Structures are given as C-alpha cells and as structure tokens.
Structure 1
C-alpha cells in the first residue's frame, strides 16, 4: 500500500436509475483507488456499470450515494483536469486535424502561437503530422481516434478517461492503436482509466485490471499485470496467456463474490517500446 493520496478515489459509490415505478441499480457500493500516472483497465460483462462509473468520474453523472474524488476534491461536474475519449470520435467534421486538436486550447484562451505549437507536438506524437490539414472525412477510423487522443492530450489533463475508444475498429488497427497509445503514454504520462470489453486489450494495456460484476455493478476482482515491455513478444508469451485466462475466468465465470479488496495502485506501470504506427495504416 502506498502512503500517497490516490489520484482518483471512488468511495462507496452507488448509482440508481428510475425505470417507471421501479429503480435499477447500475453501481452498488463501489470502492476504487487509482494512483497518479497509473494505467488501469476496467473490464466486465455488459451491464456491469463500467460506463456509468466513467461518467461519474467525468462529472457527467452524479452518484446516488457515495462520492468520487480527484486529488482529494469531490467531483461535482466536468473539469479540465479530466480528458474524456469515447468510442465515437466526436471530431468536428468541418475542422481539420490541426483545428480539432487546437479547439480546446482556443476555447481556453491560449494564444495562437502556443496552441499551434502544442497542437503540432501532439499531432506528431500520434503520427498524424502528414495529415494535420486534412478533414476527418478523409481519415480512416484509427486515424480519427488518434486525432481524438491528440486533442485530449493537448489541453493537458492529468487524467484520461477512455470508454471503449478502439471498440469500433478492425482487429489489426486496434492492435496498432493499443501500441500507439502506450507509446504516447510512455512519453506523456497521465493517469488513465480505460474501459473495454476486450480481455486481451485489458491485459496488454494496463498494470492493473479491474474486473466488474454486473447487476448490480461492483468491483469483483483485481488482477495485477507485471511490468514488462508491451510488444508482440509479450502478446505471444505464456505469461500473457496465463494473465488472459485469469481475467477471462474472472469476467465470465463469476462465483457470486460480493466485492474485491481494491488497494491503491502501487505496482510499476507498464513499459512500452512499441514501434511507431505508420500513419497510413490505422
């Protein structure tokens, strides 16, 4: 256990929704701590409340009970310290890649020269420097998502909340975007909570996998992923297969346990030496 405060702390969060005359409990007494610069993935069966939890952390939903804190301060709405990336790219179709990445900086009143420099830095970091003046309609799905990631990084949030960002992509592009994300994260550290339905993706990206149980949504298990280079060798290793099997079993063969004990992340974050993703392939 670490003595430093958690970057994100979810404390007894319950969320219910009205369904006619009845109520539906999406989350039930969830506790979760995430350390500064930790990369955590959240996986679980449909209906386990993953997106609801992210929406509460993003300030888009309010918990019915309990509270969520960022840097010890209760979340009361959206904030610039939390960047959110959804499965849909949410790019402005009439703006170029550069203009999309600059958008948040423009609304924040950043000077033209500074926002141009910051946008260019992150456009290059995600491998889109040759497409800076292209409109989103001319880009592939993977390239659009890289643009969304660059835009989120450009406003300098300390936290990235990512809800199935690669879910709509084909398998090959998805693998390349996973490597690209880790490469970007290794250079520009942030605290990341990444929601996914894909067990392989959950294991490959994170140093801690949080498994949720459904109906009502709650933390079911926590699986540590030892730090090592995340590359093709890791994907094909017996170590990866063992971790994947553990997570798979925890997701799809839940035995009715009520909750897992979830410590603040203390383990080393994943290292990455992933090759740069060619900008024309994703």
Structure 2
C-alpha cells in the first residue's frame, strides 16, 4: 500500500483481566496501523480478543499496557470521531427510525433543520426512507442494522468501529447488507475496522484482513485484498476471491503457533 499517515495506531497493546484468582491475557503486545479511509476486517478464532481490541479503540476499555491512538492522539474515552456499531443494533425502541438517526445530532445540539436534512440523507442512503416514521419493532433485523448504520454515519465520524454487526442475521440478509455497506462506504468514505468471525465476509469487504490468534490474543497474519471495488456477486464467484478466502481460512483455522512480526507503519498505512 502507499505510505500514509496512520488514522488509527495500536502500539504494543496488552489487555489482561482478572478471572477468579488468576489473570487472563486477552491481548498480548498487539501493534497495528490503519490508514485513512481504509477498510480493515479482523477475523480469528473465538477468544482471540477481536472485540476487546475494538472496545479499546472505542474508548470503552483501557489497555493494561501500550497505547491506542486516533490521528496521533491517545484514545482516552469515547469520542464523536468514532462511530460504534454493535451486533445488537442498540436502537431506542421508543423512537422512530428518523428519531434514532437524529439522536446523536440532537445530543450535539445540531439545529433542527440541519438535523432533519442530515437524517433524511442517511436514511435514504441505507434505503429506509419508506420506514422513517416506523418504530424499531416494526423493522426486520436487517432494517434495524441499516438504521444503526445510518445513525452512526449521521454524526459524521471519521472512523466506524463495527463489532460483528451482521452476525445475528440470516445468510441472504447478511450478503445484501455487506453489499449495502460497501456501497455506503464508497459514497461516504470512512476508516472502517470491522470485526467478524466469517471468513467470506472478511475477504469480501476488506482492503486488508487481519488474522488474530488466541490465548493470548495477537496478530497472526495480515493479508492484503488487492482487488478493486465495487464488489458484488460476481466477485464472490471469482477465482481470485476463492484463492484469498482459502488463504484466510487456512490462516484462521490451521494456525501453526508462529507469531507474525508486528506490522510497521510504513508497510500498513
């Protein structure tokens, strides 16, 4: 990749938790750079620390050692430049789609007319304009997640942190939302860190796939997906996709115990 200043930097991050009378290491000396507007997916076996890494970048947890930085500034808590999307949607059930999308703008005291126009823009972008006045209980799981994505985009974050956002959805809805997400990303570029346990999803979405190893959680491999966007059904059926999928699959499920060197800023940003 072209050398660029890192948007996100993770420097020697270790995270330990107390489990009874013992200490559990969720992350061990993880270092990683992500460039501005890069789409990076993180995949790995259960217990490899994927969500812990995202929570540290979101400012929801603090590292035991090391440092996470955004635009070279240490992360010290949640911030408006980082939008976070979870698997559970996290919509307010008593608010309509429009009101949910406007929520962050209202909190930021954005004037009413601008708040309404920005909400309408992103609601339309994710294809929910006919459901703007519907409550979440009236929506399918995929529609709720699209609402959550619109809400995250509306506050104009430069970074999106997504923790298995499509994990609870059926296969067809998941595929459609992957394509929808890439379409949205192509129009409204953001730096994206996308956590997933699905190898196909990781390859389909990413510029780079970060493969993690568990116990303790660490970076095992970094795989470039040097294939053009836009990506659609034809891309999934291509031999290039199959080759990359097989490489990532082998890296996730046939780990040999080696430990990859931490990526340098010049090679990953």
| TM-score band, normalised by shorter chain | over 0.9
Q: Which residue of 2 aligns with 1:253?
A: 254
Once residues 3 and 193 of structure 2 are traced to their aligned partners in structure 1, the CA distance between those partners, rounded to angstroms, is 21
Q: How does 1:65-144 map to 2 (within 5 A)?
A: 65-144=65-144
How far apart are residue 4 of structure 1 and its match?
Answer: 3.0
List structure 1 runs of 4+ shifted beyond 6 angstroms: 265-268
Q: Secondary structure at the match of 1:52?
A: helix
Q: Which residue of 2 aligns with 1:155?
A: 155
C-alpha contact 1:2 1:264 (8 A) present in aligned 2? no
Once residues 14 and 174 of structure 1 are traced to their aligned partners in structure 2, the CA distance between those partners, rounded to angstroms, is 32
Q: Cα distance 1:266–1:140, how it changes in 2: closer, same or farther (>3 A)?
A: farther
Deviations for 1:120-146, whole angstroms, at most 9, x for unmatched residues? 000000000111011100000000000
Q: How does 1:25-64 map to 2 (within 5 A)?
A: 25-64=25-64
Task: Figure out how many residues of one structure are paired with residues of the other and give that number.
Answer: 268
Q: Secondary structure at the match of 1:28?
A: strand
Q: Cα distance 1:29–1:234, how it changes in 2: closer, same or farther (>3 A)?
A: same
Q: Which residue of 2 aligns with 1:191?
A: 191
Q: Give TM-score, length-normalised by structure 2.
A: 0.97
| More divergent stretch after superposition (130-139 vs 223-232) | 223-232
How far apart are residue 226 of structure 1 and its match?
Answer: 1.4
Once residues 141 and 15 of structure 2 are traced to their aligned partners in structure 1, the CA distance between those partners, rounded to angstroms, is 33
Q: Which residue of 1 aligns with 2:17?
A: 17
Deviations for 1:87-132, whole angstroms, at most 9, x for unmatched residues? 0011001100000000000011001000000000000000001110
| More divergent stretch after superposition (221-230 vs 20-29) | 221-230
Q: Secondary structure at the match of 1:7?
A: strand
How far apart are residue 227 of structure 1 and its match?
Answer: 2.6
How far apart are residue 20 of structure 1 and its match?
Answer: 1.6
Q: Which residue of 1 aligns with 2:226?
A: 226
Q: Does 1:207 align with 2:219?
A: no
Query: 5+ unaligned residues in a row in structure 2: which ranges?
Result: none
How far apart are residue 73 of structure 1 and its match?
Answer: 0.2
C-alpha contact 2:42 2:211 (8 A) present in aligned 1? yes
Q: Secondary structure at the match of 2:6?
A: coil
Say what the alpha-carbon RMSD is for the aligned residues. Answer: 1.4
C-alpha contact 1:207 1:267 (8 A) present in aligned 2? no
Q: Cα distance 1:78–1:252, how it changes in 2: closer, same or farther (>3 A)?
A: same
Q: Cα distance 1:66–1:234, how it changes in 2: closer, same or farther (>3 A)?
A: same
